Structure 1
Amino acid sequence: MNIPFLGLAGGLSRRIYAAFLIAAVVPTALAGAIGVYLSLTALKNETLRNLDQEVTVRSQGIGRFFEQLSSELLYLANTRGLVDLTAARQSGDKWLLDAATKRLERDYAALASLYPHIYQIRLLTALGDEWIRVDRKPAGVYVVPRSELQPKGDRYYFKDAMNAGVGQIYVSPLDLNVEFGQVEKPERPVIRVATPVVGTTGEKIGVLIINLHADILLEQIQQMADARQGTAYLLDNQGHYVSRSAGSSQGAFSMEPIERLLEIFPASITRNLAEHGVSPVLDDGWIVAHAPIDFAPQAIEETSRGRWRIALAFPERELFLAVVNLYLLYVVLLVALLITAIGGYALSRHLLRPLEALSRETDAIASGDFTRQVVPVGNDEIAALGTKFNSMARRLHESSLAINAHRERLEAEVRERTRELERERASLEAVIENTAEGILAIGRDGVIHLLNPAARGLFAQTTALPDIGSSIETYWPQWRAIATDASDGGLRCDVELKNQIVSLAVTPTTDGFIVVARDVSLERAILDERRELDRQMFQMEKLTTLGELAMGLAHEIGNPLAGMKAVAQAMQYEEDIPPDLIEALKRMESEIDRLSGFLRSFHGFAAPQAIQPEACKLELILEDVLFWTRKDARSQGIDFTLSGFGDLPPVAADPHQLKQVFLNLLVNAVHAMPSGGTVSLHAATKGKCACIDIRDTGVGMSVETQSRIFEPFFTTRREGTGLGLAIVRKIIEQHGGSIEVASQPGHGTCFTLTWPFAWR
């Protein structure tokens, strides 16, 4: 529906109309809200008072009934007939026992006749056997014959009643009556009121129990629910409840745990009911009132749940439904609002009619027609607005003509500048296509937007060449980290791929990155080779200097040590030498031998003997070496395994130096396995050389240790000299072989030797 004034004057009509509505709605709505609030508050307070009063009156009425019934029960528990019955049972006189029993049956039948809610009256012995039982049947009160009496000693209510004190009243929870081990049909919810019965000497001889129809309580809560159109609840002292809603039939009887109320009420109301809180309470849209039931002053509480209670609850929204019935107030409000709306609409139309023409001309100017004018009527503010509008329209027309001329000049300049940019772009494309450097344009998301032929050549070793739209991370997995580092101001770095090294110069742009790439694999390989040669030259110079130093030390220290040993040995044969001094001389001789052995190691490293190679069977060499090492190895739980040596041809080696190589390697392997293990020796043919693996299951070595184990004087054992592996490598290299090591901490070590055969 199109309402004309709603689109006029830039919303001015709507504002004027809204002002009229607000002027009428605010006072009316405020007065109505105050009236509704006061009515709701008064109704709420009155409802709470009436609700609490009704629940209290109901609970008091139920309490008076139970108090009267308890008095009757206590009276029956202390009648003369019960005393006679006790005396007759003790005397064994059947005639007196039968007479006393019939007298009590008449008394119990008379009481059952006075109270229509009494379902059963029973006298149970101390063992729980029924002695007297009176039932209420539809036809009247009925005394059960002795032959139909039942044992009830296993029932909870009998045990609880027997535990009650003399003169106290026990009230059981609400449950269904059970006969002969089955729930009685039709189902009859009952409440049992009981008290202990004492004999002539004061001991408990049984229990007197009255079964009440639960209807006396259920009818009360049903009446409360119907009267208030809510839901009434009966809560027992065991934490269970039964409920009745307004207009509901009795239906099946069901006791629910009080925790199920959380499905109906908020936690605060459920907790208030469970903990006997204040009443009434209003929370989260519910009004709940509850009151305890005082059965009798002599009644006992069975659990920490407290006493029986009745409660009544209904939604708070019922109060608002009552307030809605104030039809007259709402009719007045509606009429006032309708009159205000009509008056506001008429006044806005009268005031804003001159603005309609101004709005139409404004739309025309907005569409590009600057020749439009309005005819001012009158001398008020709107007429002045029309005059100013005409002046504005003329200036806009003049400005439009000037803007069109300037636009034509700008378009000519743009066309000329575009042709220049096209020429520059063609030149730049030629440079990019023919440069030897790879150039790529990569977006922020890693997608390739440009790459020249040189850049495609960088990916020649990949299975699929990249193209526009490909992801650079497919070819350079490191790209994400490179882009992050280059975002702040550019980056120069190398990308190490599987078969090549690419040098990158990355420059960030607003849309991504410009990358200049170059394959530097050959340059890096040449540089690495040069560094390796420099390292080997330095190592050779260091070893030469170290050898000269070792020879000098061996010569300068060896001669004095020989003299010291000769003197020590001569002094041991002198007469009258104390035993302590002889022991000291022997220790000195032992230390001199140790230093001499150390100097021999120096000599072997600095100036090893000239090799005299001959054809050697590795299997025979290892037999000699293992003969000297196997005993110490077995004492530490270490085994040796050999494989592949029997099929190998002889190798060209000096047998003594070859034994020294294997002896040093096997001793190191034994020392690397303090907790025992296995040393595996495997041999195989590799071209013109024998390839021997010596693998242990010891502690292994770190990468740093592996890089230094062949250096002179480097050792990981406190008692080692650090020359064993240096001598081993020097012997192997003199024979034209090589040695490599592979190890991981905790996973053992493997030395791999290559040794040339004698006949190849």
Structure 2
Amino acid sequence: MPHGALWAVRGRHLRILRHFRGLAAKTYAAFLIAAAVPVTAAGLIGIYYSLDALKQETLRHLDHEVTSRATGIARLLDQVTREIIYLASSPLLHDLANNLAGGGGVAPAARQRLERDYATFARSYHHAYQVRVLDESGMEVVRVDRRDDRIYVVPEHELQNKAGRYYFNEGFSHEPGQVYVSRLDLNIEHGKVEIPERPVIRFATPIADRKGHKRGLLVINVHAEVILEQIQEMAGVRGGIAYLFDHSGFYLSRGAREAGSGTLTMESAEALVPLLSRPLLARILQGTHGAEVIGDWIVAFAPIVVGTTLSERTDSAMDWAVASTYPRARLFEAVFNLYLLYGVLGLCLTATALGGYALSRHLLRPLTLLKNETEEIARGNFSNRVEIRGGDEITELGARFNSMAAQLERFYQGLADQKERLEAEVGARTAALERERRNLAMVIESTADGILALGPDGAIELANSAAERLLGGGAALVGRRFSEFWEAWGAFAAGAGARLRGAQPLEFVHAGHTLSASVAAVAPRGSPEGFIVVVRDVSEERRLQEHRRELDRHMFQMEKMTTMGELAMGLAHEIGNPLAGMKAVVQMLLEQDTLPADQRSALERIHGEVNRLAEFLRTFHGFAAPQEMHPVACRLESALEDVLLWTRKEATSRGVVIRYAPCGERVPALWADPGQLKQVLLNLVINAVQAMPEGGRIEIGMCAGIGHSEDLEGELPRMRVCVRDTGPGIEPEVLPRIFEPFFTTRRLGSGLGLAVVKKIAVMHGADIYVKSKPGKGTTFELVWPIAPLDARELRQLREAAGTTRLAEAAHG
């Protein structure tokens, strides 16, 4: 080549290389390399979708095939149903049922005809493993078996009683014409599982006599292998395993290796969890169909949809299903060959990615240097500089970056100097605030009152020692809620928005102490953001106030008792003398021998009433001075006899019915002064009558001792006497004062009746309790000492307490 031409070519090359200088040319080259990536990705996606389409088509084919097999099994079950219905309608079977109904047993000729018919049936239908007739006691009457593909008529001495087998009881519970289908089960002969194991499904229908009464059961055993063969062929060709699931959760399976060997596996469906997931098993047992890939296996499954005849003739659960599993590698063997191409394309893509990565690392190295130095500047190291060689745009960018770093270094130094000055000023002000805080904390800690700072939710954020002593017993309070000490805090805090002005006083009881608190809301923005609570123990103040009120009440009571004593003196003088005269006259009349019996009885009652009034005057006087009593053994009936006589007229006039439950002889007598016991009962009955001007009912009697057996314990055994009325009841605020002398709610009442009752009860060592609800009536319970008993009688009485015997004795 001439020398001039050579220089011309070299010049053209230099001009071409000049176009590829700089970052833009390098970027174009990188994009050119990366152009192969989309093409590769498109190819891989195409291959993937092709594989997926082939797999989906295979799964649809398997789903359709297993569904068809399940339909065939359903037709087989429907055929067995028609066959057993046909056999059950046989005249010979009806004659057999009538003979069983008459107690005549089975004639040998009839047995032989049925055995011939069932043997012919078993030869015609190879799925019939056993055909049997059982009487209503469960004993086999006729039985034909299939043994080693031969028909065997079981002789009479080999027949068995199946009354204890579940399928007999469940099948016999159906009506004639209905068909019972058992769960998948192993055949049992003479109480043992038949060897080799034979999983069977039993079809049964009751047989009836001419009156429609069930006299036996016709049973056909279908060998499960016959059903499993419907799908075994499909699974065996592909090296898979066939499964048959029944409604009780058991399955029967046979693999391709066991085909034709008679070997079957029957287990619970839980045993398949390692192979099939639990959700997939649930879908199979719930009656869905489909085909799925589970790990290295493909599973196709479908429910056995019951045919028309079986669905109309049975109420047994028939949630059965079939499934087949196939090795994924064998089924997709031809498809998996495409993975070779998939691997080659993957290698190409990997090589392209690695080449692109290496090229990008080389092209972007200057930018990486700039990034690293930028991070150093971000950490505050402004002395570093970047060094980039070359003549492209990135080199110029590095120079400008170094200039920026120098300016930032000067600016940062100025900020550091100003920061030192500000830190010194902040330190001085912080020290002053800390001194103020310590002084405030010392004041709060040394105050005698408890001081708490609460958050908006009532949580304690700050508490001094006094607050911990008052509320926590010395324990820490921070973190706890104020509602633990005052339950009404939630309602108070909820309405705090309307009480933002000033402190709100409140008082509550905690740990036996009365605490007074002042609560102020912290609301700088108009809504509560917290609360300041000051707590003070006012228990001693309240105790002194209560003691002062108690002293005032005692002084008032003493004044009333003095007045009542003076009144008693006057009454004893004004009423006692006329009573003494009346008593003398009655005694004089009683001394006459010619006095009629009815008049003598009336005078004796008057005499007793005069004595009672005299005793009442002494009791009335007893509020001011002690009085004597003479307790004896008293029967409650004796005391109530006079009381009911005295109150009968007034009760009748007011429409009040008095009911008395007589005491039994086993209930002990009360230990009381007879006159004073009558006075107590009379006052309680009169109060009850006067409380019911519109009429009502009074019930008197011994309270049943079941719930109060503790009354008989201790040195002074006691029993309970109840006086109940259906009056308006007593208001809760009045109830505590009803035993006070001169306290009454009636316009004409004296206020002494219940005071006398309380006085007499206390003198006898008795207690009196009142239960009353407005509108529900009132009950007075007298817990009264019983008459002395010897040790044996007292022990028997205590043993009877707490049992129904004492309650029965109390009411006779």
TM-score (norm 1): 0.51
Contact map agreement 1:188 1:213 (CA 8 A) in 2: yes
Deviation at 1:329, TM superposition (A): 2.9
Please state whether the residue corresponding to 2:451 is helix, strand or coil.
strand
Residue correspondence of structure 1 range 175-324 to structure 2 within 5 A: 222-232=232-242, 242-248=252-258, 250=261, 252=263, 266=281, 269-270=284-285, 272=287, 281-282=290-291, 286-288=299-301, 313-314=324-325, 323-324=335-336
1:515 aligns with 2:542: no
Q: Which of 673, 678, 703 is the equivalent residue of 2:732?
A: 703
| Maintained 8 Å contact 2:633/2:672 | no
Identify the match of residue 35 of structure 1 among 14, 36, 50.
50
1:366 deviation in Å? 3.3
Structure 1 distance, partners of 2:517, 2:52, is 77
CA shift for structure 1 position 244:
1.8
Tell me by how many angstroms 1:40 deviates. 1.6
Residue 227 of structure 1 and its aligned partner are, at CA, apart by 0.8
- In structure 1, C-alpha distance between the alignment counterparts of 2:63 and 2:671, rounded to whole Å: 100
Q: In 2, distance between residues paired with 1:612 and 1:176?
A: 95
Mapped to 2, the partners of 1:241 and 1:428 lie a distance apart of 81
Cα distance in 2 for partners of 1:612, 1:189 equals 98
Return closer, same or farther for 1:371/1:427 CA change in 2, 3 Å cut-off: same
Q: Report the counterpart of residue 466 of structure 1 in structure 2.
A: 474
Inter-partner Cα distance in structure 2 for 1:304 and 1:626: 73
Q: CA RMSD in A?
A: 7.4
> Alignment partner of 2:699: what SS?
coil
- 1:607-622 to 2 correspondences below 5 Å: 616-619=627-630
Output the amino acid matched with 2:428. E
8 A contact 2:463–2:478 mirrored in 1: no
How far is 1:353 from its partner? 1.0
Q: Is the 8 A contact 1:59 1:310 kept in 2?
A: no
Give the secondary-structure state (helix, strand or coil) at the position aligned to 1:676.
strand
CA contact (8 A) 2:453 2:530 kept: yes
| Alignment-derived partner of residue 643 in structure 2 | 629
Q: Which moved more, 1:477-486 or 1:353-362?
A: 477-486
SS, match of residue 616 in structure 1: coil
Tell me the secondary structure at the aligned position of residue 517 of structure 1. strand
Q: Say whether the 8 Å CA contact 2:722–2:782 is kept in structure 1.
A: no
- Letter of the 1:703 partner, please give it: P
Q: Distance in 1 between matches of 2:640 and 2:47?
A: 112
Question: Aligned ranges for residues 555-574 of structure 1 at < 5 Å?
Answer: none
Matched-pair contact (CA < 8 Å) for 1:221–1:232: yes
Aligned-residue offset at 1:401: 1.4
CA deviations over 1:528-563 (Å, ceiling 9, x no partner): 6788899999999xxxxxxxxxxxxxxxxxxxxxxx
1:563 aligns with none
Conserved 8 A contact 2:388-2:398: yes
The answer (yes or no) to whether the contact 2:382–2:409 under 8 Å persists in 1 is: yes
Corresponding residue for residue 415 of structure 2? 403
Conservation of the 8 A alpha-carbon contact between 1:503 and 1:519: yes
Pair 1:482 & 2:489 matched: yes
Residue 238 of structure 1: how far off its partner (Å): 14
Partners of 2:429 and 2:61 in 1: CA distance: 88
Where in structure 2 are the equivalents of 1:328-343 lying within 5 Å?
A: 328-343=340-355
Q: Aligned partners of 1:618 and 1:539: how far apart in 2?
A: 25
After superposition, the C-alpha distances for 1:454-505 in whole angstroms (9 at most, x for unaligned) are 657x64xx9x9515x3579899952465377448567532132465422112
Offset at residue 413 of structure 1 (A): 1.3
* Aligned-partner Cα distance in 2 for 1:405–1:507: 47
Instruction: Report what 1:554 is aligned to.
Output: none
Q: Structure 1 pair 411/671, CA: closer, same or farther in 2 (3 Å)?
A: same
Instruction: For residue 751 of structure 2, give the secondary structure of its aligned residue in structure 1.
Output: helix
Moved more, 483-492 or 382-391: 483-492
Q: Which residue of structure 1 aligns with residue 402 of structure 2?
A: 390
The corresponding residue for 1:90 is none
Q: Is the 8 A contact 1:288 1:311 kept in 2?
A: yes
Asked whether the 8 Å contact 2:130–2:143 carries over to 1, the reply is: no
Alpha-carbon distance in structure 1 between the residues aligned to 2:463 and 2:247: 85
Name the counterpart of 2:429.
Answer: 417
Q: 2:698 aligns with which of 646, 671, 674?
A: 674
For the 8 Å contact 1:128–1:152, the answer to whether it is kept is no
Q: SS of the counterpart of 2:377?
A: helix
Decide which of 32, 55, 59 is 1:44's aligned counterpart.
Answer: 59
Partners of 2:241 and 2:256 within 8 A in 1: yes
Quickly say closer, same or farther: Cα 1:59–1:380, change in 2 above 3 A: same
Mark the CA change 1:316 to 1:218 in structure 2 (over 3 Å): closer, same or farther: closer
The residue aligned with 1:725 is 751
* Matched letter for residue 535 of structure 2: A
What displacement does 1:372 show? 2.2
Q: What code does the residue aligned with 1:492 have?
A: P
Identify if the C-alpha distance between structure 1 residues 659 and 23 changes in structure 2 by more than 3 Å, giving closer, same or farther: same
Partner Cα separation in structure 2 for residue 732 and residue 135 of structure 1: 99
State the distance in 2 between where 1:399 and 1:248 align: 88
d(CA) in 2 for partners of 1:424, 1:665: 74
Answer whether contact 1:192 1:212 (CA < 8 A) is retained: yes
CA distance in 1, matches of 2:33, 2:755: 102
Structure 1 unaligned blocks of 5 or more: 1-11, 71-96, 161-170, 194-209, 274-279, 541-608, 647-654, 681-692, 753-760
Aligned to 2:258, what secondary structure does the other structure show? coil
Structure 2 gaps, min length 5: 1-26, 84-108, 134-139, 163-170, 172-180, 204-219, 523-527, 559-619, 648-657, 692-696, 705-718, 784-812
1:362 maps to which residue? 374
Q: What's the CA shift for 1:223?
A: 4.2
Decide whether aligned partners of structure 1 residues 493 and 417 sit closer, same or farther in structure 2, where only a CA change above 3 A counts: same
Give the aligned residue type for 1:466.
G
Alpha-carbon distance in 2 for matches of 1:26, 1:40: 21
SS at match of 2:698: coil
C-alpha displacement of 1:419: 3.0
CA contact (8 A) 2:40 2:349 kept: yes
Whether 1:451 and 2:464 are equivalent positions in the alignment is: yes
The alpha-carbon deviation at position 334 of structure 1 amounts to 1.0
The match for 1:207 is: none
SS in 2 for 1:393: helix
Report the equivalent of 1:167: none
Kindly indicate whether residue 522 of structure 2 is the aligned counterpart of residue 493 of structure 1: no
Q: 1:322 to 1:134 in 2, by over 3 A?
A: closer
Opposite residue 495 of structure 1, the aligned amino acid is F
Aligned equivalents of 2:42, 2:682: Cα separation in 1:
111
Q: Distance in 1 between matches of 2:350 and 2:412?
A: 49
Q: Could you tell me whether the CA contact under 8 Å between 2:452 and 2:461 is conserved in 1?
A: yes
Q: In the TM superposition, what is the alpha-carbon distance from 1:338 to its structure 2 partner?
A: 0.9
Equivalent AA in structure 1 for residue 699 of structure 2? S
Deviation of the 1:393 alpha carbon: 1.9
Please tell me whether the aligned partners of residues 696 and 749 of structure 1 are also in contact (alpha carbons under 8 angstroms).
yes
Q: Per-residue CA shift, 1:295-325, capped at 9, x if unaligned?
A: xxxx9x9968899x99662259565676434
Question: Whole-Å Cα distance in 2 between the matches of residues 183 and 732 of structure 1?
Answer: 85
Q: What is the count of residue pairs matched by the alignment?
A: 550
Task: Quote how far apart the aligned CAs of 1:352 are.
Answer: 0.7
Work out whether residues 494 and 504 of structure 1, in 8 Å CA contact, stay in contact via their aligned partners in 2: yes
Shifted more, 658-667 versus 343-352: the winner is 658-667
CA distance in 2, matches of 1:284, 1:679: 80
